[in-house]
Structure 1
Amino acid sequence: MTPVAIPPLPFLPEAVVFDMDGLMLDSERAINDCMARAASDLGHDLPASLWLQMIGGGDGLCRRLLADRIGADATVELLARAEAMYDAVADAGIDHRPGIVDLLDWLVARGIPRAVATSTRRPLAMRKLAAAGLLPYFAAVATSSDVAAPKPAPDVCLLAASKLGVAPARCLVLEDSPTGVRAALAAGMTPVQVPDMLVPDDAARALGHRIVASLGDAQRLLEARLAEA
C-alpha cells in the first residue's frame, strides 16, 4: 500500500502542547488493565470496548459510562478499587511512549516552549509526570482540575497556551485521541494526532487534521518545517 502523504505544517509553532496519557505515557493500557481487574474482582462482566470509550475523556465521562452499565453506587466502588491499583502503577513510573524523550530533547535544543494539557486531575498528573521523569521538560502543566470543562472543550488547551504566553493559533498540539483533537481545534490550535489504542474512525478523519504513525513522525514534521524557515 502506498503511504498517504501528510501535509506539511502550515507554520513553525511558537509552542508545542502535549497531551499526557497515551501520547507521552503508555498509561491508557495501564488504566484499562486496572479498570478491567477491578471490575472482575467485583463481579462485573464489562466489555473491553467500554474502556476504549473512556480514552481521552475526563473523570465525568468515565463515571457516566460506568453508571449507565452498573449503577452509581457500584461505579463508586469500582473506581475506588481501580484508582488504588493505578496509584501504585503511577508511583512506580509509567513507561514512556516511543520517541517522546527524543522529541522533547529536540524541542529543548531549539528553545521551543512546551506545556502539558491533560484530562487527568492535577495531583495525579504531577505525580505521573514526575515519576516518569518528564516534568522538568515543561514550563506549564494544565489539568482538568484547573478548568471548568474537560476535553473536548478547549479550556485546558487554552490554559496551557496562556501559561506559556503564546497565542493559541501559534501552538501545535500533540494528541492521541479524537477527544483531544476536538479540544485543540476548538481552541484554534493545530493538532497532530499520534494514535495509540484508538484507531481513528471516519468521524475522526473527517476533522481534517494531520494523523501520523509515531512521535518520530511528528518530530519529522517539525524538522521539515524548521528547514523551510
Structure 2
Amino acid sequence: MDGLMLDSERAITDCHARAAADLGHALPPDYWLQMVGTGDAVCRARLVERLGEEAADALLARSGLLYEAKVDAGIPHRPGIVPLLRWLAGRGIPRAVATSTRRPLALRKLEKAGLLGWFDAVCTSSDVAHPKPAPDVYLLAARRLGVDPAHCLVLEDSPTGVRAALAAGMTPVQVPDMLQPDAQVRALGHRIVASLDEARRLLEARLASA
C-alpha cells in the first residue's frame, strides 16, 4: 500500500522530519529512509534506540498528528495504480492489500484515497503475529483470496516487502519508490521494474503467452 499505491512514504517521512525538527532533534534526512517498509513497532524501536523512549514517543505523537491531517486530505496515488487496478479487475484477477500499517489506519487511507473498493481483501499488521519481512500478512492475503501462495504475484516497493513475499513462496515484482535496491537486494533474484505501468505491461505479456 504505502509507497506502491499511495505516495505515503514521502508523506510520513516528511511528518517525522518536521516533528523531529519541531522538537529540536538534529537527525539526518537519510535517517528516515530506514523506516520505509517497516511497521510501527520497528519504527518506534529504532527511534527509542536513537533518542530514548520518552523522546521517541513524543516525536511519534507529534508526527502522528501531522500525518492524520494528510490522511484526511487523501494521500495522492502513485502513478499508474488506478489503470493497473482497472486492468486487473477487468480480467477478474483477485486482488488483496498486504500492508504493515495497522488496520484502522490502512482502511481509512485506502478509503480517503478512493482505492478501497478495488480490493477483495485488506490484510494488515493488526491481523497477524509477525510483520514483514515475516511472510504472515502475505500468507493471510492468499488464504482470504482462496489462492495458493505459489500462484500469487506480489507488487512491492520496499526490500522488506520483497523478502516477505519470497518467504511466503510468492513471486515478487519490485517497483522501487524512495529506496533503490542495492546489490544485496538485487541478489535476491526477483524482477525489478521502474513503474507500475511497466509492471502492468509485464502482466499483459505473461497472460498473452499463457
Same fold (TM over 0.5): yes
The residue aligned with 1:38 is 19
The residue aligned with 2:102 is 121
Where do 1:115-154 residues align within 5 Å? 115-154=96-135
How high is the sequence identity, in percent, across the aligned residues? 74
Q: Which amino acid aligns with 1:210?
A: R
Question: Does 1:201 pair with 2:178?
Answer: no
In 2, distance between residues paired with 1:40 and 1:51? 13
Question: Does 1:213 pair with 2:194?
Answer: yes
Q: Which amino acid aligns with 1:164?
A: L
Question: Does 1:85 pair with 2:66?
Answer: yes
The residue aligned with 1:16 is none
In 2, distance between residues paired with 1:222 and 1:69? 43
In 1, distance between residues paired with 2:71 and 2:60? 15
The residue aligned with 1:184 is 165
In 1, distance between residues paired with 2:108 and 2:32? 23
Displacement of 1:50 in angstroms is: 1.4
**Runs ≥4 in structure 1, deviation > 2 angstroms?**
none
What TM-score do you get using the length of structure 1 for normalisation? 0.91
Displacement of 1:95 in angstroms is: 0.4
In 2, distance between residues paired with 1:208 and 1:61? 26
**More displaced 10-residue stretch of structure 1: 45-54 or 208-217:** 45-54
In the alignment of these two chains, the number of paired residues is 210
- Unaligned regions of 5+ residues in structure 2, if any? none
Displacement of 1:121 in angstroms is: 0.4
The residue aligned with 2:79 is 98
In 2, distance between residues paired with 1:55 and 1:224? 31
Match of 1:57 among 38, 46, 50: 38
Question: Does 1:167 pair with 2:148?
Answer: yes
- Unaligned regions of 5+ residues in structure 1, if any? 1-19
More helix by share: 2
Please, what is the CA RMSD of the aligned residues? 0.5
Q: Which has the higher contact order (CA 8 A, sep 6+)?
A: 1
In 1, distance between residues paired with 2:31 and 2:43? 9
What TM-score do you get using the length of structure 2 for normalisation? 0.99
Q: Could you say what secondary structure the match of 2:89 adopts?
A: helix
Q: Which amino acid aligns with 1:187?
A: A
